[in-house]
């Protein structure tokens, strides 16, 4: 068989290989293809009640985020962090929910050697845990400490409809991509609304009519460490 | 001359055939044992089959038998990288094959495979657990 013939046969073989997955996956292409928008978040800190952690709890429950009761192993997708102005040791602290900023130019995705971390068309930065080799480069690269590593196996599995992660892979908030793809709200936003605070709003930054765009236009918003050039997409009001 | 020369077979009998016997005897015995014990699969099929075979399965049984893992892998990549995460779920597999222990694991164990799908994806080994899950209202 000459080279030409070999390639021809091989090509035919390859063309026949992909099993038409229409039966299993009804409308994958339309779910997050271009035009699905560019997801972002606004957190209105003025509406965050003192000591509330509804979003943190809801996230843990929805996404089976591991909590081992030991800060060395605990994983957080969204967490309450105490901050105070830089260099003022005695200034009063305030609590701010911190999560992955779904950067426009995500350092975590840039350093991932196997492209397990990638950015979807709609701007969500997400980990393909099947592909993650556990090198932890992304933990180092993320300037927001938003990445966490599963150092051990997590047995708790509150939401059986969503996979958990085995030990050895990195993870962070994926803006409840599985819910957004279904047209549902992220768990944190839902819980925040249910708690009566309504501080978290997730929406399409590209659509000027969306609630989030109007909030950003009407208020003075801050993003964390904008100077780094990562283009964080979590906007804080009242920071 | 030929009288005082031992047949090469005599020396080798001890050196070769006896150890060979020692090695092969347990093997032979186990084969005999297995055959005489009868085929346990005769009463119960090796895999727990669904009540309505191949009713509404995504592919025919022959394809699934040899290529389900390729299909799963391909769909996985489409769903994870392409989005549409809600479109597919192992629930559909579970509706016909409720027991992972009596379906998936039988073959995987027989061929010494340890696919680590189920460390992260919910597919209880025992269908009773799945019922509990459904009853708990998710
Ligand atoms: S906040 Fe961190 S984990 Fe999230 S996209 Fe940016 S660099 Fe990646
Ligand atoms: S830990 Fe996983 S996701 Fe992070 S950089 Fe390494 S391979 Fe990529």
User: Is pLDDT of B87 > 90?
Assistant: no
Measured in Å, residue A163 CA sits from the centre of ligand 1 at 21
A193: region left, alpha or beta (phi > 0 left; psi from -120 to 50 alpha): alpha
Q: What are phi and psi of A43, to 5 degrees?
A: -120, 115
Residue of B59, B71, B83 lying closest to A31 (CB–CB): B83
Burial (CB count within 10 angstroms: exposed 0-12, middle 13-18, buried 19+), residue A13: exposed
Instruction: Kindly report the nearest CA distance between residue B67 and chain A, in angstroms.
Output: 10
Instruction: Please tell me if the CB atom of residue A224 comes closer than 6 angstroms to any atom of ligand 1.
Output: no
pLDDT of residue B137: 44
Nearest CA to ligand 2 atom 4: A138
Ligand 2 closest atom vs CA A141 = 5
Q: Give, for ligand 2, the residue of A112, A125, A142 to mutate: max count of ligand atoms closer than 8 Å to Cβ.
A: A112
pLDDT of residue B96: 86
pLDDT of residue A37: 77
pLDDT of residue A174: 95
User: Could you tell me which chain A residue has the CA closest to the CA of B58?
Assistant: A23
A20 vs B107, residue with greater confidence: B107
Convert the pLDDT of each residue in A137-196 to its tens digit.
999 999 999 999 999 999 999 999 899 999 999 999 999 999 998 889 999 999 999 999
Domain boundaries, chain B: 61-135
Chain B residues in contact with A157 by the CB 8 A cut-off are 122
Convert the pLDDT of each residue in A73-94 to its tens digit.
999 999 999 888 888 888 888 8
pLDDT of residue A30: 35
pLDDT of residue B11: 64
Least confident of A53-57, A201-205, B21-25: B21-25
B126: region left, alpha or beta (phi > 0 left; psi from -120 to 50 alpha): beta
Convert the pLDDT of each residue in B29-48 to its tens digit.
665 555 555 554 455 668 88
User: What is the arithmetic mean of pLDDT over A96-109?
Assistant: 96
User: What is the arithmetic mean of pLDDT over A212-231?
Assistant: 94
pLDDT of residue A151: 95
CB contact under 8 A, B71 and A166: no
Instruction: Kindly report the nearest CA distance between residue B102 and chain A, in angstroms.
Output: 21
| Measured distance CA(B49)–CA(B100) in Å, rounded | 12
CB contact under 8 A, A181 and B75: no
User: What is the arithmetic mean of pLDDT over B5-32?
Assistant: 65
Instruction: Kindly report the nearest CA distance between residue A86 and chain B, in angstroms.
Output: 40
Among residues of chain A, what percentage have pLDDT more than 70? 85
B1 close contact with A: CB closer than 8 A: no
User: What is the arithmetic mean of pLDDT over A12-20?
Assistant: 42
Single out the residue of A32, A44, A25 nearest to residue A192, CA to CA. A44
Measured in Å, residue B116 CA sits from the centre of ligand 1 at 27
Q: Residue B131 — very low, low, confident or very high, per pLDDT cuts 50/70/90?
A: low
CATH of domain A3-237: 3.30.70.20
User: Is pLDDT of A41 > 70?
Assistant: yes
pLDDT of residue B138: 43
pLDDT of residue A213: 95
DSSP assignment string, chain A: --HHHHHHHHHHHHHH-S--TTTT-SSHHHHHSTTS--EEEEEEGGG--TT--HHHHHHHHHHT----SSTTT---SEEEEEE--TT-TTSPPEEEEEE----SS-HHHHH-TT--EEE-TTS-EEE-TTT-----HHHHH-TT---EE--S-----S-TTS----TT-EE---TTHHHHTTTPPPHHHHHHHHTT---EEEEETT-TTSHHHHHHHHS-EE-TTGGGSS---EEEE--
Report chain A's mean pLDDT, rounded to a whole number.
86
User: Could you tell me which chain A residue has the CA closest to the CA of B68?
Assistant: A19
CB contact under 8 A, B119 and A166: yes
pLDDT of residue A12: 46
DSSP assignment string, chain B: -TTTSPPHHHHHIIIIIHHHHHHHHHHHHHHHHHHHH--GGGTS-SSPPPSSTTSS-SS-HHHHHHHHHHHHHHHHHHHHHH--TTS--THHHHHH---STTTHHHHHHHTT----STTTS---SSHHHHHHHHHTT-
pLDDT of residue B58: 85
pLDDT of residue A231: 94
Instruction: Please tell me if the CB atom of residue A56 comes closer than 6 angstroms to any atom of ligand 2.
Output: no
A94 vs A11, residue with greater confidence: A94
Domain boundaries, chain A: 3-237
């Amino acid at each position: 068989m000459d080279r030409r013939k070999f390639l021809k046969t091989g090509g035919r073989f390859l063309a026949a290989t992909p099993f038409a997955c229409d039966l299993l996956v009804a409308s994958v292409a339309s779910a997050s293809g271009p035009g699905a928008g560019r997801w972002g978040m606004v957190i209105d800190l003025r509406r965050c009640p003192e000591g509330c952690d509804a979003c943190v709890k809801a996230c843990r429950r929805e996404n089976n985020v591991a909590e081992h009761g030991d800060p060395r192993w605990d994983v957080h997708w969204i967490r309450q962090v105490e901050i105070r102005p830089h260099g003022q040791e005695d200034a009063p602290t305030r609590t701010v929910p911190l999560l992955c900023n779904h950067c426009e130019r995500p350092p975590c995705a840039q350093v991932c050697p196997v492209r397990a971390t990638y950015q979807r068309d709609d701007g969500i930065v997400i980990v393909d845990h099947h592909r993650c080799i556990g090198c932890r480069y992304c933990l180092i690269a993320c300037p927001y400490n938003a990445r966490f590593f599963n150092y051990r196996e997590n047995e708790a599995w509150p939401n059986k409809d969503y996979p958990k992660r085995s030990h050895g892979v990195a993870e962070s908030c994926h803006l409840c991509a599985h819910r957004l793809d279904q047209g549902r709200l992220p768990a944190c936003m839902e819980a925040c609304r249910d708690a009566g605070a309504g501080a978290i709003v997730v929406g399409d930054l590209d659509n000027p009519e969306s609630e989030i765009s109007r909030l950003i236009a009407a208020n003075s918003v801050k993003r964390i460490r904008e100077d780094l050039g990562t283009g964080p997409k979590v906007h804080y009001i009242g920071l | 001359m030929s009288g005082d020369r031992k047949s090469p077979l005599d020396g080798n009998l001890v050196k070769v055939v006896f150890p060979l016997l020692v090695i092969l005897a347990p093997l032979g015995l186990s084969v005999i044992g297995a055959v005489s014990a009868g085929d346990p699969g005769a009463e119960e099929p090796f895999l727990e089959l669904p009540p309505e075979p191949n009713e509404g399965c995504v592919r025919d049984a022959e394809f699934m038998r040899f290529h389900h893992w390729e299909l799963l892998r391909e769909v996985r990549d489409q769903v994870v990288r392409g989005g549409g995460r809600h479109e597919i779920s192992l629930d559909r597999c579970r509706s016909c094959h409720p027991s992972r222990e009596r379906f998936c694991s039988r073959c995987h164990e027989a061929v010494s495979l340890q696919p680590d799908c189920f460390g992260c994806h919910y597919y209880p080994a025992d269908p009773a657990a799945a019922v509990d899950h459904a009853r708990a209202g998710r």
